[in-house]
A and B are shown apart, each in its own frame.
Chain A
Amino acid sequence: MTTEEIRAPASSATMADLRAPRERQATLGQRIYRYRFVYLMLVPTFALLLTFNYYPAFMGLYRAFFKWDIGLQPEFLGLGNFEKLFIKDDTFIKSLRHVSLLTSWRVISAVTFPFIVAELIFNLRSNVHKYTYRVLTILPAVVPGIVILLLWQFIYDGTHGLLNAFLEGVGLEDWQQPWLGSPKTALYAVTFMGFPWVGGVTVLIYLAGLQGISDEVIDSSLVDGCSGLRRIFSIDIPLILGQFKLIIVLAVIGGLQGWVAVFVMTAGGPGTASMVPGLWMYNNAFLWNKMGYASAIGMFLFVLIMGLTIINVKFVKTGDY
């Protein structure tokens, strides 16, 4: 994959430049003609990508600089939308704080709990047990996401909810809350849902990394008397940093894009107590028809996600052993 990426920007035009100059035109033309059926193979794919992906993406970037309400003529604002966003829009600023909490917890929980489960499974002796546990941990991942969200909504329910019933059972009636309905707890309830935070897919990705560690490395570590927790910290974790990096990137992206959960659970409320930027964008666009302003939020999220991903890929080093 890395070689692909390095090669990727080099178009064949530059490769053709390396050939004898007098042959270049003819050769390129001939080669294109020779592979004409290949271009034909790519036509449907690119027709769809240009229509449903490229056009909206560029349109989103372009319209972020306009006041653009449905039915009205777009009006160029320059950076006006962004100025309003960061200076006047208190809800947006608040939503940034909320999303950083959500994302931080997502990253923290994704690098701890699934890794613990992966280590537990990896160190089992019986392959049958290993396989059973792998299937059992992945099973909740195939329950539709909306069902999980609606179930957690039920767990947090103020009058019928499981959490309040549990608190009553252990004698902590004072702690009972309408968890999603109270401005004090709504954001935390959304953040910490999903207990015990073990994503099956994440576990399998860690497991794949652990299985990829060569037996020699582990054997020699045993000879040197390195085992148990010591082995996890000095051998397992450094050797599967690649997996950790992927999980962190996915968790950051998932956290910033994870506004669907907020939308379903609280709709950002009560008031704006659990508002996040993605949902704020949705509200601006589909409740109030402020398409240009919403596009500016979309562009901000795009830049943020891309920036964080690049930082993570570039500066969190993966050791190659």
Chain B
Amino acid sequence: MTVLEGQPQPVQRMSLGAGWRRAWRTGDWWRHLGLGGFLFFMFLPFIITIIISFKDIPQFDHYPFTVTFPLHPDNYLEAWRIVSRYILNSIITSGTSVIGMVVLAAIAAWAFARYPFPGRELFFFGVLALLMVPGELTLIPAFLLVKDLGLLNTRWVLIAPYIAGGQVFAIFILRQFFEALPGEMFEAARIDGANELQVFRHIGIPLSQSILGVVAIMHVLSTWNDVIWPLVTLRSNELMTLTIGLYAFRTAWYTIWGPLMAGYVIASIPLIILFAFTSRLFVEGLSSGAIKM
């Protein structure tokens, strides 16, 4: 990165101690300072959440924002009893819908990318146009639809629309990727006697694992975080997903901050675990430069 040689460098750098001299010379010290400042404030709410999650009520009343002893890890047990059901529900909902969505979207995107069938662009436009339709327009009719279908207060009321809606963006991304795959490889497989399904399953899919992963993660994030749809379609506490479950938890436990904050921490863990395993995919997928207008 020759870029950086041109950065303004402080004149007085030679007069400083050896350790600092290096930081001055590279010109990076103030960048670390700036980034550190931003990160401090970005993480501050989470740090305080963790601190409070170990407090009982008197500890919070006297010293709300500093670490107090003894710690109260039992807050986590209490919160787990309430939140665990919601987490399980969210895992079932997001998990089922992401599998269904990726399978259907991959098949459809493959069709759009590799076969010049009559009406291809028209059908594709029919998918793309839905990117322009905001949830506000469809919320009410969709609610009345699932009500008429008798799906209210079942798991399917979330899963089916999530599969349907998630496909739109996924097909858009996957088609571009499938089209860019080298066609010679598929020709070679066909010559060797593979049928269309085998070409897709044994060559197309393995080559596309990373992009399928990115699409899947984005779908999990968006369904996991959805508030309004589960709020209007689910009534029973047994089926509530994490978002509305936490919302109900907060309303019921307001001012009992220790277990509440422990609940927030527990609620964040599944996605952090997912992220820990997929961060490379995630960071590189977003950094690939393909995302612009």
Please list the residues of chain A having a beta carbon within 8 angstroms of any beta carbon in chain B.
1, 4, 7-13, 16, 28, 31-32, 35, 37-39, 41-42, 44-46, 48-49, 51-57, 59-61, 63, 70, 113, 116-117, 120-121, 123-126, 129, 131, 133-140, 142-148, 150-155, 160, 162, 165, 195-196, 198, 201, 204-205, 207-209, 211-212, 215, 218-219, 222, 226-228, 231, 240, 242-243, 245-246, 249, 253, 256-257, 260, 263-264, 278, 281-282, 285-286, 291, 294-295, 297-299, 301-302, 305-306, 309, 313, 318
Question: Tally of A-B residue pairs with Cβ under 8 A?
Answer: 303
Q: Does B163 contact A (CB under 8 A)?
A: yes
B209 within 8 A of A: no
Contacts A60-B137, A123-B4 given; indicate if A52 touches B145 (C-beta within 8 A).
yes
CB-based contact A142/B275 at 8 Å = yes
Q: Are A8 and B65 in contact (CB under 8 A)?
A: no
Q: Mark B102-127, 1 if CB is under 8 A from A, else 0.
A: 00110110110001011111111111
A301 — which chain B residues lie within 8 A by C-beta? Answer: 134, 136-137
* Residue from B115, B164, B282 with most neighbouring chain A CB atoms (10 Å): B164
- Residues on B facing A (Cβ under 8 Å): 1-8, 26, 28, 31-32, 34-35, 38-39, 41-43, 45-46, 48-49, 60, 64-65, 104-105, 107-108, 110-111, 115, 117-128, 130, 132-145, 160-161, 163-165, 167-168, 171, 176, 196, 221, 224-225, 227-228, 232, 242-243, 246-247, 250, 255, 257, 264, 267-268, 271-272, 274-275, 279, 282-283, 286-289, 291-293
Which of B127, B133, B247 has the most chain A CB within a 10 Å cutoff? B133
Would A146 and B117 be within 8 Å (CB), given that A45-B104, A52-B142, A257-B135 are in contact?
no
Partner of A45, one of B138, B141, B167: B167
Q: Is the CB of B120 within 8 A of A60?
A: no
Nearest-Cβ distance from residue B79 to partner chain A, whole angstroms: 12
Which residue from A137, A151, A226, A227 sits with its C-beta under 8 Å from B264? Answer: A151
Q: Which residues of B contact A226 (CB under 8 A)?
A: 6
Given contacts A11-B121, A49-B127, contact A120 B34 (CB under 8 A): yes
B119 and A12 contacting across the interface, CB-CB below 8 Å? yes
Set B165, B227, B232, B243: member contacting A52, Cβ < 8 A: B165
Beta-carbon contact of A204 and B287 below 8 Å: yes
Determine if B110 and A41 form an interchain contact, defined as CB atoms under 8 angstroms apart: yes
B120 touches A12 (CB 8 A): yes
**CB of B24, distance to nearest CB on chain A (Å):** 13
Task: Output the nearest chain B residue to A45 by Cβ-Cβ distance.
Answer: B108
Given contacts A41-B107, A246-B292, contact A53 B168 (CB under 8 A): yes
Contact of B142 among A56, A70, A218, A286 (CB under 8 A): A56
- On chain A, the residues within 8 Å of B31 by CB distance are 120-121, 123-124
Residue among B64, B130, B161, B243 with the highest chain A CB neighbour number at 10 A: B243
Are A8 and B247 closer than 8 Å at their CB atoms?
no
Task: Decide: B2 and A31 in contact? CB cutoff 8 A.
Answer: no
Cα distance, A131 to B282, chains bound together (Å): 12
Asked whether A228 lies within 8 Å of B7 as measured between CB atoms, the reply is yes
Q: Are B274 and A142 in contact (CB under 8 A)?
A: yes
8 sample A-B contacts, Cβ–Cβ < 8 Å, listed by A number = A57-B137, A142-B221, A208-B287, A243-B291, A245-B292, A301-B134, A302-B136, A309-B132
CB contacts (< 8 Å) of A31 on chain B: these are 117-118
Contact of A160 among B142, B255, B271, B291 (CB under 8 A): B255
Chain B residue with the shortest CB-CB distance to A278: B136
A44-B267 Cα distance, complex, nearest whole Å: 34
Residues of B within 8 A of A35 (CB): 115, 117-118
A182 to B219, CA, bound (A): 37
* Residues on A with beta carbons closer than 8 Å to the beta carbon of B46: 140, 143, 151
Residues of B close to A56: CB separation below 8 A: 137-138, 141-142, 145
Given contacts A32-B117, A35-B118, A201-B286, contact A222 B3 (CB under 8 A): yes
Chain A residue nearest to B117 in the complex (CB): A35
Contact B4 A160 (CB under 8 A): no
Which of A31, A126, A154 is the most central at the interface, judged by chain B CB atoms within 10 Å of its CB?
A154
| Cβ-defined partner of B292 (8 Å) among A54, A126, A155, A243 | A243
Partner of A219, one of B2, B143, B171: B2
Most chain A CB within 10 A, of B123, B221, B275, B293, is at: B293
Q: Are A318 and B293 in contact (CB under 8 A)?
A: yes
7 A-B pairs closest in CB distance: A227-B6, A35-B117, A242-B292, A59-B141, A48-B164, A56-B141, A52-B164
Are A249 and B136 also in contact (CB < 8 A) when A8-B125, A142-B272, A147-B246 are?
A: no
Residues of A within 8 A of B1 (CB): 125
* Inter-subunit contact A138/B140 (CB<8 Å): no
